[in-house]
Structure 1
């Protein structure tokens, strides 16, 4: 088969910029060079688009973030020409302006096939409030939650706190509705913790999700496919602190443990895989996604979230689960890109 060109898009404006760069390094290193010519395109923290040459230079220099390089997207003629020359794009921009449907919409308008979920699935996957409402409507179990906007909290702080007291209880988690990698997430053990928790969440979004703290194990499942998605074996995350926060996920000092496969009964693992595929389909996902659950001591499953652009770092669960399921990392990346091309051809017809 003739080699094809793949644009790996990385960086971006969100608080997950560095995670995106790290993920992209892993993907670029692992892509099968007999199958793919790689064209890296970086996006700076300010939203500027770097040329492939600028991106390669920054990566070779060991930069973990792109700051001053590039040009605004509408003026980034060389970067856009490089993108247009590619057969398929692999967006690895985590968080807002990359994982939330905006970049996917841009690629749709440009007519460039791209890996991962489409506009609607990406937007729902980024907005935890919409995602949980969709799951609840579909009869998928979720933790108790409430949605509080920044102006509601500012105008009626006592009412917001009373709502949490009555509807959620403590401990609870306060999260930006739009975000990932646990950026801006806090665990509130009591009412006194809420002001700092809301301040952290509202620094990233004007809508916060306040969610019951579920007592249970954190289990994850990787899903891959378009019309007929398949689920990987199940893994378990055992954080090295109160919850699986940003440092627990990405710090070199983290002692978080990943168990692959998860030490759970086969019947429970089968239920997790089945529900992971259902959640993937309910959201309208295609390509790939990681699905996260809580497993209570009574073996009850509580849906946490679907991550439409999961981490692809060397320690990330998504590729590790497929590796353990018999699909090596380079082959997984090729499969993801082939699914992107197949979806584009189907929709073009």
Structure 2
């Protein structure tokens, strides 16, 4: 029997949904015959071993449950090494999905499920993933990155440099107050169109995302600062009204990339125009998935092909979910756009990745076997290369 350490929680805003994913994964791993060690990372970054059959509502943080990670020597607790064959991270968002945790596990010589350090980082940083999509010839919505300096200037920091974005416009560097937001908004709308979508460049689960169909300066300013993570950039994109959001689930099997979907995201009646964090994970009014989606077969096949191409080009491992937009008013041959890739998608009871895989005819035991097998294979390859 293999022992699987399931890592969840973390310091990101997605802490709670990560623990919901972990609860579901622990249940399915136990049912499939694996030994399970649930480890929760607290909001301040400390690691504690939990009991597999206890509720995730409360984190046990007794000192004797504290887990440490040793470079080259795995996970330890109370002076003893934990018997862990592989780690299954379900740590959504910053520090858990962006390559940093993956690098730490590699330094500890621990096999782990999911994508490696570089693929995780590329997937988390949305503009980098869009750059890869562009190289592959996959359409993306127009976008502009706002740097921390741009955001400081927008917030009236007198020491912030004049934004480079303005160099091709006749704009005075002396603008202050709400005039700065007006100027910024005007330039962005000239480049991207009147309706905008503002999001963190490096976050997930729609945290910090705001759709601005008809933005004013103050609303735009609020959206930028809601999306801003200190030291990171903010991504501003063209917003597509009445957009259709579609998702593809991918699972790396031994000899193929199994593609399930796409499925169409259906938001509860009366909800906002984008798939927000609350809609994704609300217990009572969460988004659902329609499969098959009400689009042409050729479009569905094109989306699946795009998803596989991105998975391979980014060097993903194990599993992922790739999300797309369809512009309902666009031309039939030019209305599909890549949105983002999630290298550690949600795995809760209501998450779309397992739903789509089940539509493909796969059940949890096979999904888990494939994900864990690819993790062991990636570990063997890394150590073979490092020993050469």
Distance in 2, matches of 1:77 and 1:328, equals: 33
Which structure has more helix as a fraction of its residues?
A: 1
TM-score, structure 2 normalization: 0.81
How far has the Cα of 1:260 moved from its partner? 2.0
Aligned mates of 1:21, 1:184 — CA distance in 2: 20
Give the Å deviation of 1:265. 2.5
Q: List gaps (5 residues or longer) in structure 1.
A: none
The alpha carbon displacement at 1:314 in A equals 0.4
Q: Provide the rounded CA distance (Å) in 2 between the counterparts of 1:304 and 1:19.
A: 21
Residue 87 (structure 2) aligns with: 89
Q: C-alpha distance in 1, partners of 2:15/2:210? A: 20
CA contact (8 A) 1:14 1:94 kept: yes
Aligned residue in 1 for 2:151: 153
Structure 1 pair 168–183 and aligned structure 2 pair: CA distance change class (3 A) = same
204-213 or 118-127, larger mean C-alpha shift: 204-213
Cα distance, 1:74 vs. partner? Answer: 6.0
CA–CA separation in structure 1 for the residues paired with 2:62 and 2:342: 29
Please state how far the C-alpha of 1:81 moved relative to its aligned partner.
5.3
Q: Which moved more, 1:331-340 or 1:131-140?
A: 131-140
By how many angstroms is 1:329 displaced? 2.0
Choose 262-271 or 333-342, whichever is displaced more.
Answer: 262-271
Aligned to 1:180: 204
TM-score (norm 1): 0.90
Q: Which residue of 2 aligns with 1:12?
A: 10
Q: Partner residue of 1:207?
A: 233
Q: Counterparts of 1:1-349 in structure 2 under 5 Å?
A: 3-33=1-31, 35-50=33-48, 52=49, 55-56=50-51, 60-63=54-57, 73=68, 77-78=76-77, 85-156=83-154, 157-158=180-181, 159-188=183-212, 189-192=214-217, 193-203=219-229, 206-215=232-241, 216-225=243-252, 228-240=256-268, 241=271, 242-254=273-285, 256-297=287-328, 298-299=331-332, 300-349=335-384
Structure 1's 145 and 194: CA in aligned 2 closer, same or farther, altered over 3 A? same
Kindly name which structure, 1 or 2, has the bigger radius of gyration based on alpha carbons. 2
CA contact (8 A) 1:21 1:65 kept: no
Q: 1:111 to 1:38 in 2, by over 3 A?
A: same
Runs of 4+ in 1 over 6 A off after TM superposition: 64-70
Alpha-carbon displacement from aligned partner over 1:225-254 (angstroms, at most 9, x marks no partner)? 177422113211022322100111111232
1:172 Cα deviation after fit: 1.1
- Give the count of matched residue pairs: 342
Change over 3 Å in CA distance of 1:260–1:163 after alignment to 2: same
Shift of 1:272: 1.3
